[in-house]
Chains A and B, each alone.
Chain A
Amino acid sequence: MFLEIVQLTVYGIVLGSVISLGAIGLSLLYGILRFAHFAHGDVMTVGAYLALAGVAGLGLPMWAAFGLAVAGGVALAILIDQALYRRLRRTAPVILLISSVGVALILRSLVQFIWGPDTQVYTQELQMPMRLLDIKLKSTQLQIVAGTVALVVVLHLFLTRTRMGKAMRAMADNPDLARVVGIDTERVVVWTWAIGAALAVAAGIFLGMDTRLQPTMGWHVLLPVFAATILGGIGKPYGAIVGGMVVGIASELSTMVFPPVYKPAVAFALMVAMLLVRPTGLFGAPR
């Protein structure tokens, strides 16, 4: 039984990595642009499929396809922002929400149109899990966790050591004061989209590596990603990591009691609990 818990926790960390990457981006976008980007899951989907195009279509090695997908995803996100969201920023915030739901659907339909509704995989080879002290772990899963750690470290350095990174943190912290201080908010916005999209693409690819690809993959993981964001506190990227891990591990552990299909429900329950007890999240200011 103990072994099962440890095994599930390991799976939870893998899932948590994917969710964290999505949640960090979402949290930054939410904190800086002040809107819940409902298309974030589908950006993950697009990222995963762009990598698929690289691997299956162009025959690239995974790391190259990864880079290609990130570039593509970032370009797409910035394009959507400049063409659409930017013009809606002055209207009521809920218009942006509705718009992002529309974008989610457009992205998903585009993916389904181009690649079809059936599930796909990056590679047909079966992976035999390694065994470390009686714990099963596939090498892709190890890559996912390692990749996530690397990305988080890079992000941390960016946020704490670079001028733009600090500007982003300042804007997430206090947008009015950031403006007063003279920060060019539009530039920060573009950078936020770039980083949010890059992380989402990575999350999507990792999700595809761990499970499989299908057009609704991102939408189905949106709820846990939102849950992680709320758990960690909006605009708190480090909180999002903690939130992601909590959601991931809790979801996996729940399979000891509930059928696996209900994992998103566990995420939802955690989110609801947090909203009831401390709506600003674990790391948000208490109200």
Chain B
Amino acid sequence: MDLFELFTFAVFFLTLVGIYGILALGLNVQWGMTGLFNIGIAGFFAIGAYTSAIMTTPASSGHVGGFGLPMPVGLVLGVLFSSFIALLVGLITLNLREDYLAIATIGIAEIIRLVLKNEEWLTNGVRGIAGIPRPFAGWFEDPTGVTNLLVVCLVIVMVYAALERGRQSPWGRVMRAIREREVAVMAAGKDIVRFRLESFVLGSAIMGLAGGLYAHFFGFVSPEAFDPMYTTFLIWVMLIAGGSGNNRGALLGALAIWTIWAGTEYLTNRFAPPEFLTRAATVRMLLVGLLLEVILLTRPAGLLPEAHFVARADDRRSTAPGTSDSGDGDD
């Protein structure tokens, strides 16, 4: 491989790391800061991508389109639509138990997947939408894709900075308190739901942004690219591995896990016999799953642990009949 190819590959690799990093940052707002368990990441990712794709591609006989809006507008619309869906899901489930939110997010992701596959008038079904404009398309040629990388990096910097600011702010402090279930915050009752909703919507908005960037980076979207299990699961592993509650951890986790994922893909492509290749992805997924379990068993706080993340074991044992069990007493 010559230098040019190597450079292009590195750019490609880092751009994907960046996009997954943004997804992880979004999840970190929901999970790391507020303790919300979102298993529908792929859904919000897909909404952002498809919205931007539909809004920016030229007219096509297969599906709705032809708006030909510029990329930034597409991105913004993707973010807005993602936020809107998150708002709906949140309003329904956020004042209930955390596992209900998890189930609801699976449901939403599943429905989104079904819509993407079947509503051909909107999404062109399994054929996907092609011809999504790259950033700065038409301005200058970019064979290495380095402008993509620069855009993604810029977005990461902005999102990271905004989130860190948010964390130090009063809003961020309330979020942390909610996650650690301080009784005083509980007493505020209704307001907790509002904070959780804000966190959920914000996180989903960031995921939608990542989706939009993904669409413009690849130029093509199809339902397969947003297979919930791969996308959603990988992001969770990234966050857990890197250190939940921690924005730096989220980015580090994205880098680490994507390196393992892409690295194993490269190795199997290079060294495995061809008939094994189709099974290789399955094995790699299996290994990532095992990796997650190992991390949960041995070092659940991840690479860059957040101080209070691992819950105090005592809490679970000291609940007694007659005391109100925080969170799981409503049976």
Chain A residues proximal to chain B, CB less than 8 Å: 31, 34-36, 38, 84, 87-95, 97-99, 101-103, 105-106, 108-110, 112-113, 116-117, 172-174, 176-177, 180, 219-220, 222-223, 226-227, 230, 234-235, 259, 261-262, 264-265, 268, 271-272, 275-276, 279-280, 284-285, 287
Most chain B Cβ neighbours within 10 Å, of A36, A172, A219: A36
In this complex, how many residues of chain B approach chain A with their Cβ under 8 Å: the count is 51
For residue B185, give the distance in angstroms from its CB to the closest CB of chain A: 17
B289 touches A105 (CB 8 A): yes
- CB-CB < 8 A to B283: which residues of A? 109, 113
A284 touches B39 (CB 8 A): no
Given that A268-B110, A279-B100 are known contacts, is A84 also in contact with B39, CB under 8 Å in the complex? Answer: no
Count, A-B residue pairs, CB within 8 A: 143
B331 touches A109 (CB 8 A): no
A103 touches B297 (CB 8 A): no
Given that A91-B311, A98-B240, A275-B100 are known contacts, is A105 also in contact with B233, CB under 8 Å in the complex? Answer: yes
For residue A103, give the distance in angstroms from its CB to the closest CB of chain B: 7
CA distance A259 to B114 in the complex (A): 11
Chain B residues proximal to chain A, CB less than 8 Å: 35, 37, 39, 92-93, 96, 98-100, 102-104, 106-108, 110-111, 114, 117-118, 229, 233, 236-237, 240, 278-279, 282-283, 285-286, 288-290, 292-293, 296-297, 300, 310-311, 313, 316-317, 319-321, 327-328, 330-331
Chain A interface SS verdict (over half): helix
Q: Can you give 7 contacting A-B residue pairs, CB < 8 Å?
A: A34-B328, A92-B311, A93-B328, A261-B118, A271-B103, A271-B104, A275-B93
For residue B287, give the distance in angstroms from its CB to the closest CB of chain A: 9
Chain B interface SS verdict (over half): helix
A226 touches B103 (CB 8 A): yes
Give 14 new A-B contacts, CB below 8 A, not counting A97-B102, A102-B289.
A31-B331, A34-B328, A88-B297, A98-B37, A105-B229, A109-B282, A109-B285, A109-B289, A110-B286, A113-B283, A268-B110, A268-B111, A275-B92, A280-B330
CA distance A284 to B97 in the complex (A): 15
B297 touches A84 (CB 8 A): yes
B331 touches A87 (CB 8 A): no
For residue B1, give the distance in angstroms from its CB to the closest CB of chain A: 31
